[in-house]
Structure 1
C-alpha cells in the first residue's frame, strides 16, 4: 500500500505534532530539575551553538585597549570579587558549592579558563549567555568597564592568590574573608560594612590606588558625593561597577559615606608628564572656553569661586588626567548619565574635539600638583 502525500495530510501531521508537544508540556512529565543533567549530546550541542554564536558576534567588537594596563586589572578585580567570584571562583578562593549545582554549572576559573580570545570574552561579558545564568553587563554601553573585566579574566590564570586579593581588595583585604561563599554573602547582606566595601577601591583616604584606576574622591563636597551616589544607585549615572554597591547600601549609608570622604584631606594625583603646549591649550579652554565652538570656560562651573556657589559641582583640580578624559569621552558617547545637570555637561563635551579633551584633562590634572608646590614653604 502506497501512502500518497498531500498538503492536507502534511498539515494534519504538523498539527498533530504541535498538539502532541503542547499536551506533553501540559502534562508536566518533562523533567526540569537541575539534578537530572543534560544528555551528553545535548550538552555538546548547546555549548557548540554558544561557541559559534559568540565567535560570530565577536567579529563586530572593536580592537581592545592595552589589556596589560594595571589600572584595568584593578578595576576588573574589584568587581570580579563580588560580582563574579561567587560563581566562577578565583585564585585561592574555591567556587561556591551552591552555584556548582546549577545547570549548566558555571566554569571554575580558579582551575581553568576556556580558550576564548579577547573579543569573544568581551562579547560574553557585555551581553551574557541565554539559558545559562550568565547575566549581561548591567550597563552594556560602558565598554571601558567591560574591557577591564576582560583584562582581569585574561590575567586570572597567572595571578597568585596573594596578588589577586591585593588587586581585588587593596588595603581592605583583612575585612573580606577569602572564599566564594563569603563574597556571595556580601551580595545580599545589607549590614555589610559599607565603608570597607568602598575602601576596597577608593581606600579610606579617598585617594584611590593602582595609578588612575579609581578617581580621587577625597575632599569633594558632601553635596556632590551624595548626589553622585544616589545617581549611581538609581541608575541615572551609568556604571555596572558602581550601581550594585550603591543600590544595596541604602540612602542612610550613602550619606555617611559622603560625609566620610568629604572630610578627607584633598591630595593631587601624580600627574603624568605632559607637553607644555598641550597644558597651555588646556588652560585656555579652562579659563576662556572656545568661543567658536560655543564652549564655555570650564572654570565658570569648576573653579574655586563657582564651587563655593554651587556645592553640587565636582572639583577637577588634581584629578587623574586619564579619569577626566574617560569621563568626557563617556559624555560624548552618551553612556555616562548623571545628576540633574547632565544635559548641560553632555552638550559642552559634545563640542570638544579629541585633542581638546586631552588638553583640558591634562591641565586640570596638573593644577593640584602646582597648587601643592605653591603652598610649600
Structure 2
C-alpha cells in the first residue's frame, strides 16, 4: 500500500474500524463473564496496576489543596484513638494486632495502618478517612460536616507507630470496664459511653470530650434524640445514639445528670488578662457585635434545655463554637440560635470566653451581671 497516496478518509475508516473491533471485543469480554470477580482470586497484574494508579492519583489530586492543622495535641490524639476504636477496629484491628482473618479475605484487604504516617502526608490521610475509597470496603465518614472529628482520627493515625504502645489508654479501653455494682443500660450502653465520658470517680478521656456529669437531664436526652435523628451532626455519636430506644436515652440522660462531677486536676492557670476579657463576654456579652452574655442562658438558672458551661473543657468549648461558625451544628433550632452568636465572635474572643468558663467551679456559675443588677 502506497502510504503517500493514502487519502485521509481511508485513514479515518481504518481507525474507525479498529475502534469498533475493540469495542466489540470489550463487549464480548464483559458479557462472557470470563473475568473472575471472586475475592478469592487476585486481579490480573495489569488490572491491579491500573486500579492502584487511578486510586493514588485521585487521592493526591483531591487532597492537594487541604491545609492540615497542627496534629500533635494530646487531646486530639486521644479523641482520634477513641474514634478509631469505635469505627475502625472491626476492619483494621488495634495497632500491632493481626487483621481479622475474615476481613483479611477482602480484595483488597484492609491495610495495616501502623506506619501510614510515614507513607502518606496528613492531608491524604484526612481525605481518605473523610471520603472513603470506592471498591475497597472503606466507607466515607458518617457525617461530612464534622471535619474536626476526622482530623482527630488523622492525628492519631499520623502519630503511629510511636503511640501504639499507649493505645489502650489513649482509646479509653482501660476506662471501659464496668464499675462494681453499676447496672447496665440497654445491654451495656453506659459502659460504652464511659470509654470517652465520665464514670463515677473518673473524668473524661481528654479535653476534647465534653463533661456530661451534672448537666440538665432534659438537655442530655434532647442531644441523644438529635444525634439519633441526624439533626445534630457527628460521625461518632450518630451511630452510637441510633440504636437506642427512648427508654435507654432517658435512662442514660438521668444517669449522667445525677453523676457527681469528678475532681480533675486543673490545667495550667490561664493568663489573668484573658480571664478578665472572658469574664466580660460571659457576663455582659459584646453589644457592638450582637453577642449576648453567655451566662444569660448557660448558668444553670434558666431552661433545662441549656447546658451548664461552668467547668467545661476550654478546648471543647472552643471547638464547638468554631463548629457553629463552619455550619456544622445548624440542624436544630437551638443550633441555629448559637450559630448566629458564634458567627459574631472573633478567634481571640472565643479563646477568652472558653478559658473563663472553664475556670469556673463545676456544675454552676454566677448569674450574669445584667441579671444581678435587676
Q: How would you bin the TM-score normalised by the shorter chain?
A: 0.7 to 0.9
**Alignment match, 1:83:** 87
Residue 277 of structure 1: CA displacement?
A: 2.1
Name the CA shift for 1:350/1:343 in 2 (closer, same or farther; >3 Å): same
Q: In the TM superposition, what is the alpha-carbon distance from 1:48 to its structure 2 partner?
A: 2.9
Contact 2:298 2:308 (C-alpha < 8 Å) held by counterparts: yes
**Alpha-carbon distance in structure 1 between the residues aligned to 2:331 and 2:157:** 29
- Which residue among 199, 208, 231 is the counterpart of 1:204? 199
1:1-377 matches, within 5 Å, as 5-8=10-13, 10-65=15-70, 67-109=71-113, 115-161=119-165, 163-174=166-177, 192-205=187-200, 208-267=203-262, 270-306=266-302, 310-337=303-330, 339-368=332-361
Instruction: Check 1:194–1:273 CA distance in 2 against 1; reply closer, same or farther (3 A cut).
Output: same
- Find the aligned partners of 1:35 and 1:370 in 2 and give their Cα distance: 57
1:316/1:112 Cα in 2 relative to 1: closer, same or farther (>3 Å)? closer
Asked if 2 retains the 8 angstrom alpha-carbon contact of 1:206 and 1:216, the reply is no
Q: Distance in 1 between matches of 2:109 and 2:338?
A: 44
Q: Which moved more, 1:253-262 or 1:95-104?
A: 253-262
Segments of structure 2 that go 5 or more residues without pairing to the other structure are: 179-184, 366-374
With structure 1 as the length reference, what TM-score do the two structures score?
0.84
CA separation in 2, counterparts of 1:326 and 1:112? Answer: 26
Assess, with a 3 A threshold, how the Cα gap between structure 1 residues 199 and 9 changes in structure 2: closer, same or farther.
Answer: same
Distance in 2, matches of 1:11 and 1:241, equals: 54
Q: CA RMSD in A?
A: 2.8
Separation in 1 of the partners of 2:224 and 2:363? 29
Superposed displacement of residue 267, structure 1 = 4.7
Label 1:349 to 1:225 Cα distance change in 2 as closer, same or farther (>3 A).
same
What is the CA deviation profile of residues 113-136 of structure 1, one whole-angstrom value per residue up to 9, with x for unaligned ones? 761122221222122222211122
CA deviation map 1:161-214 (0-9, x unaligned) = 5x2112223444556xxxxxxxxxxxxxx9752111111111323964344131
Which protein is bigger by CA-based radius of gyration? 2
2:369 matched to which residue of 1? none
**Secondary structure at 2:333's aligned position in 1?**
coil
Inter-partner Cα distance in structure 1 for 2:24 and 2:83? 48
TM-score normalized by the length of structure 2: 0.85
How far 1:71 sits from its partner (Å)? 1.0
Q: State the shift of 1:154 in Å.
A: 2.1
Unaligned stretches of 5+ in structure 1?
176-189, 373-377
- 1:180 aligned residue: none
Cα distance in 1 between the residues matched to 2:239 and 2:364: 36
How far has the Cα of 1:350 moved from its partner?
0.7
